Structure 1
């Protein structure tokens, strides 16, 4: 399968690197990283060790492939969608944080898949990405309607799932991702800002004094999901947080990495999205509102 990874940072490089051992992969990313890969290949270390030689480019326009995996930061989705509209793809699959699929659907005329990834990734240096923990990719047709049925998107999701499995990536294909998207948002809303503010690895979220804060953030997210028509219980959301935090205990969340590096975080796309939709559906989310304010006001050390 011809696969384009649009936004080859840490996660994009890891997923693209794993896929490149089996498929025809093109990475789209920053110049220093792309030059290093072109010169010496992409080294994957940590829980998975391999060196692959995917194609690379820094030119985001006029791309083509069977599927494009979008792994840019949530705030860059509109720019990515505009660039991708100049190319040719059969399928677009978001592996991003937040509810970015709506932006892709509005700009692109091909089936859009929603995806979640629990692999841990850290870009060590240009040309080298570490897998800090194996996980699962879950993907399926994007829709806000839990009862919607799109045969074309389901067929594309099955094909992409098979491509991932062929590259030894544990993959779960769902008929509908509405509940999964909200569950993912609950996990991110609980883990990312708490680890970023406390400067701790993911596993610490399940311990005192952080666990009550993370638990409240997840429960509030589940309440907003239910108000929007998605059946996500508090217990399911909280257990998902506990499971992901435990399975990625040694990982440094992407938000913690962003805060430490002085980069813009995805807080508005995660907890900010809970706040925004909570207001839309009349659900009070004080923990998510506080976490959003604290991360927006934090400074790198």
Structure 2
């Protein structure tokens, strides 16, 4: 299968390296990572060590592929859709953080859209080198197929893109499954991200510290607010269950610095709009408040404005 990894950062590079064992892979990313990968190949360290040789480019337009795996930051999703629309792509799967990426992709593309989550952990050590920090799994589910009139998750009886995507991942020995209730997984992941990412970023702490000391209560409230908004959106998320999952993730990744903490430390824009921001906005649409998520979003946005990255 011809697979494009659109967003060859840490996660995209790891998935590209893994998929390269069974497929014809092209990484779309930025220099110097792309040029180094093109010249020397892509080296993976950490959980397993190996080298891969995917093609790589900084130009995401005019691509011809059976599948595009989108791993860009949420604020770059619209640009990714515009670039992909200039080529011929059979299906697109989002493995991004936050909520709303699938709607953005569906609005700009005519091909099947597949939603997904992954628990793999990765970090770019240097150009051409990605550290595999945690082995995980991939879950995908149909979001929109050809001819759909809206952007809600659905399965076409004559075509099951999510099953084909999961099979492509499994062909490369990646644990992957197709889940018809992918919206539940997306909201559950959002609850975990809302509890961990902005708090670690603002407090400048590693994941394991979130549920210790004064930040613990606010992390639990952030997760509980996501669960309430999810239920208002028709997804049965339990507040205690997602808080417990957030605590478990924080323990498993105790020594990790969250992606949002890394963004703040590097002076980069964050994905706060698609995490805490979207929770507060959806709550307002449903006629109630999500005060913890609203405050966290305001604080991170305030830092972004002050740093000149918004």
TM-score range, shorter chain: over 0.9
Whole-Å separation in 2 of the counterparts to 1:114 and 1:247: 24
CA contact under 8 A between 1:220 and 1:285: conserved in structure 2?
Answer: yes
Select 2:261's aligned residue among 238, 256, 260: 256
Instruction: Specify the SS of the correspondent of 2:81.
Output: helix
CA deviations over 1:84-119 (Å, ceiling 9, x no partner):
001111110001112211010011111111111211
1:149 positional shift = 3.5
SS of 1:38 mapped into structure 2: helix
Deviations 1:31-56 (A, max 9, x none): 21111011110011111211100001
Deviations 1:110-163 (CA, angstroms, capped at 9, x unpaired)? 1111111211111111101111111221211126757x443356x221121122
Shift of 1:29: 0.6
Contact residue 62 and residue 87 of structure 1 kept, 8 A: yes
Is the 2:121–2:135 Cα contact (8 Å) retained in structure 1?
yes
Deviations 1:10-43 (A, max 9, x none): 1111111111122211000112111101111001
Give the TM-score normalised by the residue count of structure 1.
0.94
Distance 1:288 1:74, change over 3 A: same
- 2:218 is the counterpart of 1:213: yes
Higher mean alpha-carbon deviation, 28-37 vs 165-174, is at 165-174
Match of 1:124 in 2: 125
Cα deviation, residue 172, structure 1: 2.9
Confirm or deny: 8 A CA contact 2:283 2:290 kept in the other structure.
yes
Q: Paired residue for 1:41?
A: 41
Corresponding position of 2:157: 151
C-alpha distance in 2 between matches for 1:161 and 1:274: 29
2:182 alignment partner in structure 1: 177
Q: Is the 8 A contact 2:209 2:254 kept in 1?
A: yes
TM-align CA RMSD = 1.7
Report the Cα distance in structure 2 between the residues aligned to 1:152 and 1:238, rounded to whole angstroms: 38
Q: Report what 1:110 is aligned to.
A: 111
Q: Which runs of 4+ in 1 moved over 6 A?
A: none
- Cα deviations across residues 155-195 of structure 1 (Å, max 9, x unaligned)? 22112112212222222320131211111111111111011
Query: Secondary structure of 1:142's match?
Result: strand
Q: Report if aligned partners of 2:28, 2:60 keep a CA contact under 8 Å in 1.
A: yes
Aligned-pair CA distance for 1:63: 0.4
Alignment of 1:227-238 (within 5 A): 227-238=232-243
- Which of 206, 209, 220 does residue 204 from structure 1 map onto? 209
Which residue is 1:89 aligned to?
A: 89
CA offsets per residue over residues 212-262 of structure 1, 9 Å max, x none?
A: 111100000110111111111112221221232223222221111100000
Residue matched to 2:275: 270
| TM-score, with structure 2 as normaliser | 0.91
Counterpart-to-counterpart distance in 1, 2:213 and 2:23: 44
* Shift of residue 287, structure 1, vs aligned partner: 0.3
Q: 1:210 aligns to what SS in structure 2?
A: helix
- Contact kept in structure 2, 1:73 and 1:97, CA below 8 Å: yes
Q: Contact conserved, 1:142 with 1:176, CA < 8 A, in 2?
A: no
Structure 1 residue aligned with 2:66: 66
